[in-house]
A and B are shown apart, each in its own frame.
Chain A
């Protein structure tokens, strides 16, 4: 049994799962407050949703980083050679 490979697979799974937690919470909060703002001020919906999209992309980047790390562990692992 190769423990390094096992640890890499576990590490990749944990990276994706925990890396999805934080951004999910953050995106939920961001969308919720954007909805709140649009409900208060419907005429500003255009600029709010534009800023929201850019912000969501920024938040999503953290999840994408975790995904890239997981893929590195699975496909380009420097330890396994």
Chain B
């Protein structure tokens, strides 16, 4: 049985070994970008069938963002929405025969978690300025500075291990059952995997949103925070 912690290179592109996860990731990225481009090329006031479907997705994302954090969804929609849709597509790509979801590899999840780590800093600095972002480490009081720094690292690490563990264990269990029992037996497990994939994508996006929102809220003073809430 192959170790789930290692990945084999399919072929080499110059000096870079290309694994199956990288290939799947790029295919998903290309499909998402192309799909978004084609579907939003001609937006009309009277929505067509496709436009209505896309608007439904965007509106759902907006309500989720607004309900989980109370923040205005506009600045976060692009990042959180892309994160959710990409992870969902990656998790569900295991439905195609022969494709292993890229999120079942450590590297993909590490890259996603790194994105979240960087975006927390980016949104924190953009929302409150550099001083405000640094001040968010001293919330609720300066005694917490080492703990807050530690927390900002460990929560990203736990996000990445959580996504990796859940998706990888699903793939692993299906592999074991298929090798022991036969071809059609793992189908119920695959159905369960669909649910896990959806929940994990949702949780990854929600946690990213919660981390960003808490950093932004910690950096702003009480007064401007209530002003923000009035705007929403």
* CB pair B207 A71 closer than 8 Å: no
Q: What is the distance, in angstroms, from A75's C-beta to the closest C-beta of chain B?
A: 4
Q: What is the distance, in angstroms, from B153's C-beta to the closest C-beta of chain A?
A: 15
Task: Report if A61-B158 is in contact (Cβ < 8 Å); known contacts: A47-B67, A50-B67, A67-B169.
Answer: yes
Task: Report if A76-B5 is in contact (Cβ < 8 Å); known contacts: A57-B200, A64-B161, A68-B165.
Answer: yes
In chain B, residues 149-191, which have Cβ atoms closer than 8 Å to a Cβ of chain A? 158, 161-162, 164-166, 169
Q: What is the distance, in angstroms, from A53's C-beta to the closest C-beta of chain B?
A: 6
Task: Report if A57-B161 is in contact (Cβ < 8 Å); known contacts: A50-B68, A71-B5, A75-B5.
Answer: no
Cα-based distance from A60 to B159 in the complex (angstroms): 11
B4: contacting residue among A47, A61, A64, A71, CB under 8 A: A71
Cα-based distance from A72 to B106 in the complex (angstroms): 13
Chain B residues within an 8 Å CB radius of A64: 161-162, 165-166, 169
* B133 CB-CB contact with A under 8 Å: no
* CB pair A54 B162 closer than 8 Å: no
How many A residues, CB 8 Å from partner?
16
* CB pair B169 A61 closer than 8 Å: no
* CB pair B162 A61 closer than 8 Å: yes
Chain B residues within an 8 Å CB radius of A65: 161, 165
* CB pair B207 A75 closer than 8 Å: no
* CB pair B4 A75 closer than 8 Å: yes
- Whose C-beta in chain A lies nearest to the C-beta of B159? A61
* CB pair A54 B169 closer than 8 Å: no
Among B4, B165, B200, max chain A CB count under 10 A is at B165
Q: What is the distance, in angstroms, from B114's C-beta to the closest C-beta of chain A?
A: 18
A-B contacts counted at CB < 8 A amount to 46
In chain B, residues 185-219, which have Cβ atoms closer than 8 Å to a Cβ of chain A? 199-200, 202-203, 206-207, 210
- Whose C-beta in chain B lies nearest to the C-beta of A65? B161
In chain A, residues 35-66, which have Cβ atoms closer than 8 Å to a Cβ of chain B? 46-47, 50, 53-54, 57, 60-61, 64-65
Q: What is the distance, in angstroms, from A78's C-beta to the closest C-beta of chain B?
A: 12
Chain A residues within an 8 Å CB radius of B210: 54
Chain B residues within an 8 Å CB radius of A75: 3-6
Q: What is the distance, in angstroms, from B226's C-beta to the closest C-beta of chain A?
A: 21
Cα-based distance from A62 to B206 in the complex (angstroms): 19
Q: What is the distance, in angstroms, from B151's C-beta to the closest C-beta of chain A?
A: 13
Known: A67-B169, A76-B3. 17 other contacts (CB 8 A): A47-B67, A50-B68, A50-B206, A53-B199, A54-B210, A57-B162, A57-B199, A60-B162, A61-B161, A61-B165, A68-B161, A68-B164, A71-B4, A72-B5, A75-B3, A75-B5, A75-B6
A-B contact pairs, 10 of them (CB 8 A): A47-B67, A50-B68, A53-B202, A54-B207, A57-B162, A57-B199, A57-B203, A61-B161, A68-B164, A71-B5
Q: Which 7 A-B pairs have the closest CB atoms?
A: A64-B165, A75-B3, A57-B203, A61-B162, A76-B5, A61-B158, A67-B165
